Amino acid sequence: MSSGRHLTVLAVLGLLAGCDWRSIQERYDRRLYRAQVARAKADITMLATALDQYAMANAGKWPDSLEALVLEDAEGYAYLRVRQIPLDPWENDYQYEPPGAGSMKYRLYSLGSDSAVGGVDEGRDITYQAILNNEL
């Protein structure tokens, strides 16, 4: 290699060494998190729509679990056209709590990136109610 090429290679290596890799990784992590939240919101909205359809078709009775949405009825109809309930972007089951007696409100949510109930900031739960209220 000529000395000019050596200097070019050294200059490029110097530029790369000067990059703030931590900043690049943080930007990547933020974008990945936003994409994961967007997918969780889409999944939760899809599941909520199927839950509402189930209740309308069953005289207001809500399913005991999300699995009821993928089971075919006598006519071969399922409320979701997938074989199984998807996992959230963090590979956890979506959480569903049917409404209590006299209530029409169910709880539907992802545990979020911390995989635990509750959480704050990027670890908070992603709930259907928060989606409806534009809180995410």
Residue 19 lies in a domain: no
The answer to whether 66 and 85 have CB atoms below 8 angstroms apart is yes
- N-to-C CA span, the chain: 55
Q: How does pLDDT run across 46-74, given as a tens digit for each residue?
A: 999 999 999 999 998 999 999 999 999 88
Instruction: Assess contact for 51 and 65: CB atoms under 8 A.
Output: no
Domain membership of residue 17 (yes or no) is no
Residue 18 belongs to a domain: no
Between CA 62 and CA 65 the distance in angstroms is 9
Domain contains 24? no
pLDDT band at residue 2, thresholds of 50, 70 and 90?
low
Spatial separation of the C-alpha atoms in residues 98 and 112, rounded to whole Å: 20
Q: What is the pLDDT of residues 78-110, one digit of tens each?
A: 999 888 999 999 999 999 999 987 777 899 999
Residue 41 CA, distance from chain mean position: 6
Measure Cα distances from 84 to 17, 32, 47, 69, 94 in Å: 47, 25, 12, 9, 12
pLDDT of residue 101: 78
pLDDT bucket at 133, cuts 50 / 70 / 90: very high
CATH at 93: 3.30.700.10
- Domain carrying residue 67: 33-132
Question: Which percentage of the chain shows pLDDT scores above 70?
Answer: 88
- The chain-wide mean pLDDT, for the chain, equals 87
Does any domain span residue 15? no
Q: Is residue 23 part of a domain?
A: no
Task: Look at the chain and report how many structural domains it folds into.
Answer: 1
**Residue range 14-27: mean pLDDT, rounded:** 71
Is 56 a domain residue? yes
pLDDT of residue 1: 52
25: in domain: no
